[in-house]
Amino acid sequence: MRILFIGDIVGRPGRDVILAELPRLRDSLKPDFIVANGENAAGGFGLTRVLADELFATGIDCITTGNHWADQKEILGFIDHEDRILRPRNYPAGVPGKGAGLYETRGGQRVLVMNLMGRVFMDALDDPFAAAEAELSACPLGEGADAVIVDMHAEATSEKMAMGQFCDGRASAVIGTHSHIPTADAQVLPGGTAYQTDAGACADYDSVIGMEKYEPIQRFLKKMHGSRFQPANGPATLCGAFVVTDPRGLATRIDPIRVGGRLKQALPEL
């Protein structure tokens, strides 16, 4: 199976680069399933119904999120009726939405997607490792699902890497989001799980992690809040990873993707 994983889509520049580049990527990579993190799609903060539909219309099959999942309150009114949007699985019981979904590709393959959130330098949630264990044992790779994709939304590289190793051999891919910077450690772990600590964001990189740079710099300089963060408005780079799996659902390769905007470009050689 061919899986395309896309990192945090930040504001209009992030959405624009998806609209501009995803059709070409779909033509060249022919993914069976596309996961994208949409937690910053609405002006950098959260996701709306209209924007989710705009992203689904580009061919994205599942939208994961993270700590910003409920920044736009309207999501609380539709997430329980929208199977294709996930919020982190390890929120307390009773929170709207769900953290894992089993989907079917057009070719009839079953894909389990799990959205987890780290706890290091982030809000104290339930244990993401216990959440991963529960989902992996309820729907084992090769039995309940033909592919298992984990979006590990976390700040600390150590926590993300630990999750990759924890799931090695039991997930097709564990890919990090949230730090908005692509890491250079794409690899297939020994047990066959494709791993990258952070996919990077779909954002303008003449910025501070996708935000217009003046206000973040001021906050570091003065330790005071001035204006609200706004997404930087220049051309964005679409960042993600492309994963190919074998009939067992284990990865045979992972390639980082960076197209458009200012970052050094990267595309898989097929």
Q: Active-site positions? A: 68
We find the least distance from the C-beta atom of residue 40 to Fe ion, in angstroms, to be: 5
State the residue for tokens 């963060």.
229
Tell whether residue 178 is a contact of Fe ion (CB under 5 A): yes
Phi, psi at 148, each rounded to 5°:
-125, 125
Residue type, 69: W
- For Fe ion, give the closer residue by CB, 203 or 259: 203
CB of 7 to Fe ion, least distance (A): 8
Smallest separation, CB 218 to Fe ion (Å): 21
Q: Strand order of the sheet with strand 147-153?
A: 100-104, 110-117, 147-153, 173-177, 194-196, 187-188
Residue 8 touches Fe ion, criterion: CB under 5 A: yes
Give the whole-angstrom CA distance, residue 206 versus residue 200.
14
The one segment of 82-90, 134-142, 172-180, 234-242 that binds Fe ion by CB under 5 A: 172-180
Q: Which is nearer to Fe ion, 88 or 192 (CB)?
A: 88
Among 11, 44, 66, 200, binds Fe ion (CB under 5 A): 66
Six-digit token pair at 109? 């393959």
Question: Which 36-65 positions form the footprint of Fe ion (CB under 5 A)?
Answer: 39-40
- With beta carbons less than 8 A apart as the criterion, state whether 67 and 44 touch: no
Cα(65)–Cα(47) distance, integer angstroms: 9
67 binds Fe ion per the rule CB under 5 A: yes
- Sites of contact with Fe ion (CB under 5 A): 8, 39-40, 66-67, 178
